[in-house]
Amino acid sequence: MFSRILIKLIDQSIIPAVLLVAARIASLALVANYFNIKFNIGSNGFLYANENDYVLVNSYSLFFMIVLLSIGLFYILLKSLIFHDTHIAPHMTARLFSLNLSSVIQNSFEIYSQASVWLSYLFLILLTSGIMAFYGLLFGWVFYTALTLTVLATVLFVFDMENELDLNKEQKPEETEDVILEFKEE
């Protein structure tokens, strides 16, 4: 029916999607309230009095979403670097089991499926913010912040994957040469 990977990716994408939608709606209202910007909520969404108010609220709202995604990504990166089952220290494993927190230790499939979903959302926001900045609907610094965090997160995950591939190479047994046994008849 569905592949295990596809089901896992769909499952992993629900939490960040709900967080991003909630963050967007809450931050639109909170930023408008903070800057004393009047808005109306209608069938077309949030309506602002002028374009400058919209750009201000939109920029800070999208910035808040980028920060939220970055926090989630760097949490996953932390799990990847510290609590990855392939390179967690034995004393850390023992301590986590004694504290009944063994579920914190995760395998590569879990970590990298989470990272791919969160990175996908960050790339999507980078693309969206680039288009919005190009058309003047967003401050340029928000796009550059998204670009910097996207590049940084991507590079860190690539380094971690390379480290993981090196560890897997070291764990595989070396190739042996074929040995032919000859038996003498007596």
Name the residue with higher pLDDT: 17 or 82. Answer: 17
**Percent over 90 (pLDDT), the chain:** 46
Contact 172, 86 (CB under 8 A): no
- Number of folded domains that form the chain: 1
Residue 183 belongs to a domain: no
What are the structure tokens assigned to 102, written together? 């063994």
Query: How would residue 171 be classed by pLDDT, with cut points 50, 70 and 90?
Result: low
CA gap 112, 60 in Å, rounded = 30
The whole-number pLDDT of residue 180 equals 65
Residue span of the structural domain in which 147 resides: 4-169
Residue 184 belongs to a domain: no
Residue 23 belongs to a domain: yes
Name the residue with higher pLDDT: 184 or 151. Answer: 151
Residue 121 belongs to a domain: yes
What are the structure tokens assigned to 122, written together? 């960050």
Residue 185 belongs to a domain: no
**Which residue shows structure tokens 């690539």?**
158
The whole-number pLDDT of residue 173 equals 56
Is residue 10 packed enough to be buried (19+ CB in 10 Å), middle (13-18) or exposed (0-12)? exposed
The whole-number pLDDT of residue 1 equals 55
Query: How would residue 168 be classed by pLDDT, with cut points 50, 70 and 90?
Result: low
CA gap 167, 114 in Å, rounded = 21
Q: Which residues of 123-133 are buried (b: 16+ CB within 10 A; e: fewer)?
A: eebbeebbebb
Helix then strand count (H, E) for the chain reads 5, 2
CA angle 101, 23, 118 (to 5 degrees): 55
Provide the 10 A C-beta neighbour count for residue 184. Answer: 4
DSSP symbol at 109: H
Work out whether the CA dihedral 48, 57, 29, 153 comes out positive or negative: positive
- What mean pLDDT is predicted for residues 69-94? 85
Average pLDDT, the chain: 86
The whole-number pLDDT of residue 177 equals 63
Query: How would residue 142 be classed by pLDDT, with cut points 50, 70 and 90?
Result: very high
Residue 143 belongs to a domain: yes
Residue 111 belongs to a domain: yes
